């Protein structure tokens, strides 16, 4: 059975706000059909705690809600919980509750089982908050909060992976006046089993890595994130560029994020 492996690239530029658990790779496998003619999948996952900025520390709308690791079906726009969930009660922010869930249970989970409709390119997985939690019938995607977004579950019949584990963008010592527009470009190695069209996005679904002062815009192959990029079969190289903007103070400024590669 062929597999598609979603790989993430960690940008080592940072330390800000609270960390949040993210799925760093997904390898989907089709298990079979159940007695109700529903598709059964085994999503093998890896996870990590990653700085995603202040969005992780938003207040929960209700102290009676739940945080959970789950999957969203693109066909129905419904989100379903895996076996890992916990009450929001006792935690002020969503990030606090999710980190507790991750460190006590979630980080030990090697896979997610899902039963439902046939897998589509819109299906995704992640850690979420729901004020009206329903572990049996699921919840509408529009009703949950996803501070780190939702990582797309790739097709089973294909795979690509990033083979460069980390990129560091060091701008060196520059004056404040020269910081605006300062740019660094790095090469990133990727590998595909076949010709594929992919796109890249940051875990935050933004175009920027937010620093403790200012931000860095990220582009791949000089294209905006989310653009179509055609990759050949085998080994290839893409360029990743950052550009500083909005710097207002001198000193060392850092930030980090995770870059996701997915089918276009």
**162-176 burial string, b = 16+ CB within 10 Å, else e?**
beeeebebeeeeeee
pLDDT at position 157, please? Answer: 65
pLDDT at position 43, please? Answer: 93
Q: Give the tens place of pLDDT for each residue, 64-112.
A: 789 999 999 998 999 998 777 877 767 778 999 999 999 999 999 999 9
pLDDT at position 255, please? Answer: 82
- Structure token pair of residue 1: 């059975």
pLDDT at position 14, please? Answer: 37
**What DSSP line would sit under the chain, residue for residue?**
-------EEEE-S---S-EEEEEEEEEEEEEEE-TTS-EEEEEEEEEEEEE--GGGGPBPS-TT-EEEEEEEETTTTEEEEEEEEEE-TT-SBHHHHHHHHHHHTGGG--EEEEEESPP-TT-EEEEEEESS--TTT-EEGGGEE-TT--EEPPPTT--EEE---EE-----S--HHHHTT-EEEEEEEEEESS-EEEEEEETTSSSEEE-SSSEEEEEETTEETT--EEE-SEEEEEEEEEEEE---S-S-----EEEEEEE-
In this prediction, the residues of the chain whose per-residue pLDDT falls under 50 are 1-17
Picking from 107, 73, 104, 76, the residue whose alpha carbon sits closest to that of residue 91 is 104
Picking from 81, 157, 73, 158, the residue whose alpha carbon sits closest to that of residue 118 is 73
pLDDT at position 220, please? Answer: 97
For 32, 33, 71, 140, 202, the CA distances from 77, given in Å and listed in that order, are: 22, 21, 10, 6, 22
Q: Give the tens place of pLDDT for each residue, 31-57.
A: 888 888 888 999 999 998 887 777 888
pLDDT at position 130, please? Answer: 92
CATH topology assigned to domain 160-263: Immunoglobulin-like (2.60.40)
Domains of the chain by residue range = 8-152, 160-263
Q: Return the number of other C-beta atoms located less than 10 Å from residue 37's C-beta.
A: 6
pLDDT at position 136, please? Answer: 85
């Amino acid at each position: 059975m062929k597999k598609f492996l979603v790989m993430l690239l960690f940008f080592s530029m940072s330390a800000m706000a609270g960390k949040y658990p993210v799925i760093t790779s997904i390898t989907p496998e089709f298990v079979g059909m159940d007695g109700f003619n529903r598709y059964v999948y085994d999503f093998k996952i890896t996870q990590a705690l990653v700085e995603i900025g202040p969005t992780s520390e938003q207040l929960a709308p209700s102290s009676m809600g739940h945080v959970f690791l789950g999957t969203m079906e693109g066909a129905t726009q419904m989100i379903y919980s895996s076996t890992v969930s916990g009450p929001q009660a006792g935690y002020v922010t969503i990030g606090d509750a999710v980190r507790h869930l991750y460190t006590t249970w979630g980080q030990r989970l090697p896979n997610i089982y899902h039963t439902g409709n046939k897998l589509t390119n819109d299906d995704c997985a992640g850690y979420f908050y729901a004020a009206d939690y329903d572990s049996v019938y699921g919840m509408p995607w529009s009703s949950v909060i996803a501070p780190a977004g939702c990582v797309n579950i790739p097709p089973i019949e294909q795979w690509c992976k990033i083979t460069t584990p980390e990129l560091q963008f060091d701008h060196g010592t520059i004056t404040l006046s020269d910081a605006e527009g300062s740019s660094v470009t790095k090469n990133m190695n990727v590998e595909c089993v076949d010709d594929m069209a992919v796109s890249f996005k940051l875990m935050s679904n933004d175009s920027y890595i937010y620093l403790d002062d200012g931000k860095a815009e990220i582009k791949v192959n000089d294209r905006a994130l989310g653009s179509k990029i055609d990759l050949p079969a085998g080994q290839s190289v893409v360029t990743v560029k950052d550009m500083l903007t909005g710097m207002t103070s001198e000193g060392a400024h850092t930030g980090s994020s995770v870059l996701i590669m997915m089918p276009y």
